[in-house]
Each structure stands twice: as structure tokens, then as C-alpha cells.
Structure 1
Amino acid sequence: MIDTIETEIDGSLLEGGGQVLRVALTLSAVKKIPVRIKNIRGGRAKPGLMEQHLKGVELLRDLCFARTKGISFGSREVEFIPEDLRGGHYRVQIKTAGSISLLLQVALPCTIFANAPTTLDLKGGTNAEMAPQIDYTTEVFKPLFEKFGATFDFDLMKRGYFPKGGGEVVVTVNPVESLKPVDLTDQGKVTSIYGWAFAAGTLPIKLAHQLAYGATEELKKFDKVEIERYKEDRNIAPDNCAGIILVAETDTKCYLGASALGTKNEDPEETGRKAAKELVAVIEEGSCVDKYSQDQMIVLMALAKGQSRVRVGEITLHTKTAIFIAEKMLKDVKFEIIPSGTTNIIQCTGS
């Protein structure tokens, strides 16, 4: 034990994976709360810190000069005692196709409260399963993030796909004094649906056209749908991958997203249709935030100055986990779930 730690988190609870670790350490770093996390990823077949989680913990350690114990591959218990958050230039390289988007989930809330601007040079996977594609982070999450009064600049240097990874992005963040509360309860009317269908490496552009066609067929009921189809530059994306990212924008400035990656076992048109059906479902239920941004709102709401309200669909397990961790670590924060027709309103007065 490296110090007296009052807050202890069981990493096997609820979602039981990396989400517990990410939320707990992000709030620890921002609020300077010493924390011990036990049974890390206890709900997974291979528990403990994997490469991606390890790099995230190391990045947060460096951002706040934390004293730590247990930061090693496979570790199932971490102790984390943070100091002040400091800006600067930080480099992280995930050796696998681990998600850069998930690294940003833990880093962004910390960098906006640093004492100076921060540049993050992150290497890993940009478009992979089981995590938001980087295009989703920039086109859907970023405008939602900006509603809280913070933003980031983003440069894509190289794309990295499963299994090699090797992608690179550079993100620059200027700090803010505080986050503003948000009221995202009126979806409004969809004004446009747009997106990108791509093929990379040696895969033919035909796949991008098929992905886009499948999505377009499913979105015929909407007036304005524009899906760009393109072949990635081999200098930026040398490896094979195909996928689609869709965004719906409303007149109340809600941003809803859906995406899918092509697989050998599914017709590309069907893959495109599935992504579109997912987007249509979110629109029709009246949500202001889709399930991929839903849990990311929790940390921002907990740290914002004032009461935030966000309309969502079904409360996901990731969101339940984030709420549980936030309430456990921030004693003055309480979330309320208010059922509202086919949706739920998440309400919180931030710390």
C-alpha cells in the first residue's frame, strides 16, 4: 500500500471491464482523489490490464504525476494517488489495434482541467470493433463535448485497423476554468443525414459503394441524405478495412451517430443497412444522444458546474457503470433517471 486510500472500487462490478477503470481514474485525476481499483476487468474472460488499458493508465499517471502501484501488464489491482494536472506534450503508443478513441475518453476530461495547453500524440487503432471509430469521435462526440464549453483540435496522421493498429492522431486541447451544464432534452427535427463509406488497403472501392447503397436504401424516408464513398489513400491507410459512419443532425443541434465495419461473413449492403437501422431507431425514439455518447456524457455532467439534463433511450450498462462510479467517488454528485415515454432523462447537478 502506498498511502491511505479512502476510495476503493471493485472493477468486476456492473460492466466489469475497462469502463470501470476509465471512469474511476479519470475522476481521480481531475478531482485529486486517491483510489484503489481491485479485480480490474474481473468480468472479462482475460481479466487484468491489457495493452490498451495499461497505456491509458500510464497516460493519466503522466498527466497528473500520480504515485502509483500495480501498473503492469495483467495487473488486477491499481493504486493511484494524483497530483495537479499538467499540460505539455504526451506520446502514447499502443502496440496493438487498441482504440485511440478510448484513450481520448480518459484523457480529454483531464486535459481540459490542466494548467496549460496539452498535445496528445496517440498511436493505435482508429477504426476497430468494440469501440467508437475515430470518425465518430470527431463528428458526433466532439460537437456534444463542445456544448459543455470545451473543445479540441484534431489531426489524423494515419489510420490503423485490426489487427496491426499503427494509426496516429494528434490532439491539442486548451484548458477551461469550468464546464458548463447542458440541456439536451429536445431532439427537434432531423435536418440532414450524412456520412462516409470507405475502403482501404487492397480492398476495392466497390465495397464503399455497397455499404453506402445499403444505408441509403434504409434512409429513404429522410429528405437529405449524403454519404460520401471513397478509397483511402494508401499512404494514410495501407492496411485492409472497409466501413461506414453515419451522422444525423437536427435543428436543435443534436448529433446522433451509428457505424459499422465490413466483415468477410456479411454482405456489405447488409452491413450498411444495419448501421442505418441503428441510426433510425435512435431518431425515432426521440433521443438527443445515442448509446455510444450516452456513457461519455456522465463524466462531463458530473464535472459541469450546475444542473445538466440529457434525453437518452434505454440506459446502457456502460452508463449505469459510469453513474455508479461517479456517485461513489464524488460524494456531492447524484444522478436521477426520469422515465419519459420511450426515452429517459438523465439529470445531474455537477461537482
Structure 2
Amino acid sequence: MDSAAVEIDGSVMEGGGQILRISAALSCITGSPIKITKIRAGRSQPGLKAQHMSGLQLVSELCGGTLQGAAMSSTDISFNPGKIQAGNYTADTHTAGSVCLLMQVSLPCALFANGNSKICLKGGTNAEMAPQIDYTVKIFKPIVERFGVHFDCDIKMRGFFPKGGGEVLVTVNPVKELLPVVMTERGNITKIYGRAFVAGVLPYKLAKDMSTAAVRTIRKEIKDLYINIQPLQEKDQAYGNGNGIIIIAESSTGCLFAGSALGKKGVYADKVGIEAAEMLLRNLRHNGCVDEFLQDQLIIFMALAKGTSRIRTGAVTLHTQTAIHIAEKLTQAKFSISKCGDERSSNVSYLIECEGSGAVNPHL
């Protein structure tokens, strides 16, 4: 292992798998070797789980790197990256581990390859403690495309807890460099829509109950918009049983927000609908331009872009602060966070600014 490896404490701040994902992706892109210790030290089951291992192995394959210590429950790993190569790759968690988190670690790397890459990701498409695939396609994808990122995401099969079995095919086009993004004006909310789904043997009535409860909850606060949440029964494109809902709000300036929830055994369907609706409303009360879940996912792209990005958000999450900490450690990017004065909303909003490092794809 190169003695100049950047040492990263995996237990700092949020202390979760996100530190691994951002560190591994930035190591791969910048060519800096890393050593991560105390991985997920504060969690009930510390160390690497299946989804973290799959992600690290995928990044290592993408760049022909050397990965040491990547075993189940391991708390220390070393990674020495090679050159990023376009190609066909597969990562399989063999569990309900999130395919969206696998995409989070691999997508930034594939952008700096020497051609198009096809990445097949297997696991849970709609998993707890991770973005649902619908969020990734409907919210993350259109916003990240503003940085000049282009990728397609084909949902072949949905997979749920505990079996997984989902499959998503991601096709990524390389970029020369990423553009900075400015999102500071929200405008007005113009549209609210979504999908409430049941899969497997679960009755269609659950989807209708989730949708009805969600609409009723939003109506209490937003009275003048038509809300269209489609109840759906997924028979063929799903492996196993599951139910959930995602509700999306669009603004006049093209900002996107979401609230989502997944059904669990013993939880009434209307409670799932209400949970998603309340999450969306919470993210609409501040006058920011992104919701609390997109906030931290954009940090790596702001850090890599050439120029200054500015994004207005609600309260800055610990996930976002952690992402900024790692991005500043592994790139030349400089972030600042300032409070915004706001007449339109009683809730405080913040401006996250970043002077990006201007990463350049050496192949293009």
C-alpha cells in the first residue's frame, strides 16, 4: 500500500456507509490511495455489510484498483486506485441491499472513464434507509443532469426486503468535466404527483389506501393544486412482496422534491401514505431548492465541477456535513454554508456554496 494514502476516520460525524461511498469514488477519480479505519464504528453491527462490500468491489473493478481488507464486518480497508476503464460491470449484494447506494458509489467514477459503461446492479430497488429507485430516477437524475451528467436507468426487476432480487441496468456516458450548478430560486409549487404501489401477493386496496391518505394529508396544507397519486399493482416486474409510495412536487423553476415511505408488516397502509405526505410537506416548508435527501447526494458533483455551485436548502443535514468533510479532504474543493434571509417562509434556509476542484477526464 502506498505510504501516501489519505487516512479517513470512518466513525466521524454521520459515521455510516456514506463515508465509504464518497471516499472510494473520490479516490477512484483523483487517483489518491485511501485507508479507511473505524468503518461504521458506532452502528449496532459495525463494519462492512454486503452492500458496502459490493460497492467497494465494483469501484475497484471500474479502475483496476487494489482493495485490501474488504470482508464482511471488516472495520478497516485500504484502496489503491488504478485507471478508470469503460466496460460492462455487475454488482450483486445477494441481499436486499440498496442498488441506489451501489449507483451512488459507481456513477461518479464511470463519468471519468474512457467511454460508455454499462453497470448491472442487483439487490433491493425499494429498500429501507436508502433512496427508492423511483427517487433516483425522478428526482436525482434530472437534477444531476444539470452538472452535465448523462445516464440511463432501466428498472428490469423490483426487489424488496428481505429477499432483494431487484435488477437495474445503468448506462453512463463519460464527461470531459462537470459544470457548476446554481439553484437558489424555488418559485412556486406547480405540480404534485406520485405512485403508490403494491407488488407480489399484496392486495391492490393497499395502494389505494396509501394514495388516499397521502392526498388527504397534503390537502390540509396545499388546497389549490390537483394531486395525482396513481395506485398501481406490479405483478411481473417485481420479485417478492412489497408496498410503498413516492410523492413528487415540482416548482416553476424546475426544482424537485419528494416524500416516500415503504410498507412494513403490521403497519396500516394509510399510515404509510401519511408518512410520505408529511415528509414531502416538511421539505416544502423551507424555501430551499432541494429536499433533505438530495442535499448530500449533490455534494460530490459540486466538489468535482469546474466553477462555483450554489444550492439553497433547508436545514443542512449531518449526511451533507459529512459529505462536505470527505470531499474537502480528498479534493481541492472549498465549501461554505451561510444562512439566507427569507420573507416568504418562516423556516430558515441555507446556501451551500462550493468552489469546485475542476476534475478533468484525462481520456477525453
8 A contact 1:38–1:77 mirrored in 2: yes
Paired position in structure 1 for 2:344: none
Name the aligned partner's letter for residue 109 of structure 2: C
Q: Does 1:58 align with 2:60?
A: no
Paired position in structure 2 for 1:203: 202
Superposed, 1:170-319 pairs within 5 Å as 170-220=169-219, 221-233=223-235, 235-319=236-320
Name the aligned partner's letter for residue 82 of structure 1: P
Q: How many residues align?
A: 348
Structure 2 residues without counterparts, runs of 5 or longer: 342-347, 358-364
Distance in 2, matches of 1:58 and 1:149, equals 26
Paired position in structure 1 for 2:43: 44
After superposition, give the CA deviation of every residue in 1:149-190 in whole Å (9 maximum; x if it has no partner): 112111111110000001001110110111110001111111
8 A contact 1:287–1:343 mirrored in 2: yes
Name the aligned partner's letter for residue 312 of structure 2: R
Q: Does 1:345 align with 2:351?
A: yes
8 A contact 1:15–1:43 mirrored in 2: no
Aligned-residue offset at 1:68: 2.1
1:152 aligns to what SS in structure 2?
A: strand
- When normalised by structure 1's length, the TM-score is 0.97
C-alpha RMSD of matched pairs (Å): 1.1
Q: Does 1:22 align with 2:21?
A: yes
Distance in 2, matches of 1:301 and 1:258, equals 24
1:347 aligns to what SS in structure 2?
A: strand
8 A contact 1:13–1:43 mirrored in 2: no
Distance in 2, matches of 1:295 and 1:15, equals 12
Name the aligned partner's letter for residue 353 of structure 2: Q
Name the aligned partner's letter for residue 227 of structure 1: I
Superposed, 1:116-195 pairs within 5 Å as 116-195=115-194
Structure 1 residues without counterparts, runs of 5 or longer: none
Percent same amino acid at aligned positions? 48
Name the aligned partner's letter for residue 214 of structure 1: A
Paired position in structure 1 for 2:30: 31
Distance in 2, matches of 1:119 and 1:88, equals 6
Aligned-residue offset at 1:5: 2.7
**Segments ≥4 residues shifted beyond 6 Å:** none
- When normalised by structure 2's length, the TM-score is 0.94
Aligned-residue offset at 1:222: 4.1
1:337 aligns to what SS in structure 2?
A: strand
8 A contact 1:5–1:36 mirrored in 2: no
Aligned-residue offset at 1:113: 1.1
